[in-house]
Amino acid sequence: MATEITVPALGESVTEGTIGEWLKQPGDAVAVDEPIASLETDKVAIEVPSSVAGVMSAHKAEVGDTVEVGAVIAIIEAGGSAAAAPATPEPAAKTAASASTTTESSSDVSQTLSPAVRRAVLEHGIDPSTVKGTGKDGRLTKEDVIAAAKAKGDTPAPAPAAASASAAPAQAAAPTSAPAGTRNTERVRMTRLRQTIAKRLKGAQDTAALLTTFNDVDMTAVIEARAKYKDLFAKKHDIKLGFMGFFAKAAHLALKDVPSVNAQIDGDEIVYHDYVDISVAVSAPNGLVVPVVRDVDKKGFAQIEKDIADFGRRARDGSLTMDDMSGGTFTISNGGVFGSLMSTPIINPPQSAVLGLHRIEDRPVVVDGEVVVRPMMYIALSYDHRLIDGREAVTALKIIKDAIEDPTRMLIDL
């Protein structure tokens, strides 16, 4: 019996998505609740599971197609047995690669490779069965293949030219080498998530009156506190004590004392929040995502660190949900993990402010009339000047600076 697989509900106000990748091909066996496709929405990538066990009969949409909630995207023959997929013409590049035993069929790989990964495997001559995948459920990513190629010291071989329909068989099988010094380009369609990021950031620039104020922070006290308590903290809470917990709690003090930094504009009204939900910018394979640590004002360091660590893990394996990303009254973005010295972060609409953190480096500073070397970090607060005055922005950033330089303030609510 044939069963139609439809696009599931994607979350509040989300009515459509884009087919990002087929995880099952026609002829593949499918188990109940096994993911068959990856669907990209404006915020996250969602895996579409099969409601029945059987065999993938047909795709009803192609990679890159936009599909609405409830639309049929695949047919599963329930209770069937796996069979070979319908024969399709093989490109010459695939034929040549098969001869060199570098495709997934010749390397006994059971997982389904995405088009981008398959192309990288062919270009670099990598046996995918020898590469450990870091994607969802251990699947290979393009970055995994490239890293394996670099480890081997290989460079991508020019892809053989595909034979035309009228070419002789001998000509079709013969790879064509690109001339030395050839300069190639590749066009890759932007993912739906990347398109949304681009629109939102540009929209923030077009709508908000953006301004950034800077300060620098002496990280000595926080570094010493971490060094002193990290082992006890990890033993008791089963999580490392990081910097983000300190900055989240310091931001809470600032947002409480300067409510406009925790507010947003809605039409001709200002919406103030009596809670602190901090969006934490996390790097994911397809772009930057901002899951929300809720009720920072009520949570301790351990729970904040656990929430952030969990978001980071789920961002990497693609399991963040729409609810994880909804809401948020303020954002913290840590460019320092990538080596950034200073930046002007862009607010995350409809929020009105974002705190940018940067790398820590030893710099000479004057303390009590003497030049000493201290671990310093530049911090930046970008804000919507329509709502937040310069005095308020500078005050909020100074509160964060003072709390980091003297963490006791966070304990006694100063």
Catalytic residue among 65, 154, 323, 389: 389
- ∠ CA 126-138-335, rounded to 5°: 95
Name the active-site residue from 384, 385, 406, 413.
385
SS (H, E, C) the chain: CEEEEECCCCCCCCCEEEEEEECCCCCCEECCCCEEEEEECCCCEEEEECCCCEEEEEECCCCCCEEECCCEEEEEEECCCCCCCCCCCCCHHHHHHHHCCCCCCCCCCCCCCCHHHHHHHHHHCCCHHHCCCCCHHHCCCHHHHHHHHHHHCCCCCCCCCCCCCCCCHHHHHCCCCCCCCCCCCCCCCCCHHHHHHHHHHHHHHHHCCEEEEEEEEECHHHHHHHHHHHHHHHHHHCCCCCHHHHHHHHHHHHHHHCHHHHCEEECCEEECCCCCCEEECEEECCEEECCEECCCCCCCHHHHHHHHHHHHHHHHHCCCCHHHHCCCCEEEEEHHHHCCCCCCCCCCCCCCEEEEEEEEEEEEEEECCEEEEEEEEEEEEEEECCCCCHHHHHHHHHHHHHHHHCCHHHHCCC
- Residue 59 among the catalytic residues: no
**C-alpha radius of gyration, the chain, whole number:** 26
Active site residue 216: no
Q: Which amino acid is at 85?
A: A
Q: What amino acid positions are annotated as catalytic residues?
A: 385, 389
